[in-house]
Amino acid sequence: MRLLILILFSTGSVFTVTSGDGEKENSTTILPVQGMHCTSCGSMVRRTVLRIEGIETVQIDIQADAVKIEHTGDESVEDAIQAIRRMGYTVAHPDSIDALNNK
């Protein structure tokens, strides 16, 4: 089954979309990341996140302050958040954003 989703970027929001074909389920998560000011910053973040097990693809949108990752497990999202934070960038955690959005 194919899933077509239109995602609108919104400041401070984390979006996760899940689709699967049989045994392997892929998810796409968009994380708001502050502090990336140039393509070099984006390239370093991309290379770092791609090294994490379970991360399939990484797309950087510097203008939208966003990192879009396609992954096979939620633990890889947590690993990506920690790796990006260790690089000195600010990343909102998905749980904290969900709590703020539900108030």
Q: What is the span of the domain harbouring residue 70? A: 19-101
Residue 59 confidence (pLDDT) above 70: yes
Global pTM value: 0.71
User: Left if phi > 0, otherwise alpha if psi is -120 to 50, otherwise beta: which for 12?
Assistant: left
Task: Report residue 68's pLDDT band, with 50, 70 and 90 as the boundaries.
Answer: very high
| CATH number where 76 lies | 3.30.70.100
pLDDT digits (tens, 9 = 90+) for 81-101: 999 999 999 997 665 544 444
Q: Which amino acid is at 73?
A: G
**Mind giving me the DSSP string for 13-34?**
--EEEEEEETTEEEEEEEEEEE
Instruction: Kindly report, residue by residue over 16-41, the tens digit of the pLDDT.
Output: 555 555 556 788 999 999 999 999 99
Can you give the pLDDT at residue 41? Answer: 94
Domain assignment present for residue 86? The answer is yes
Count up the domains in the chain and report the number.
Answer: 1
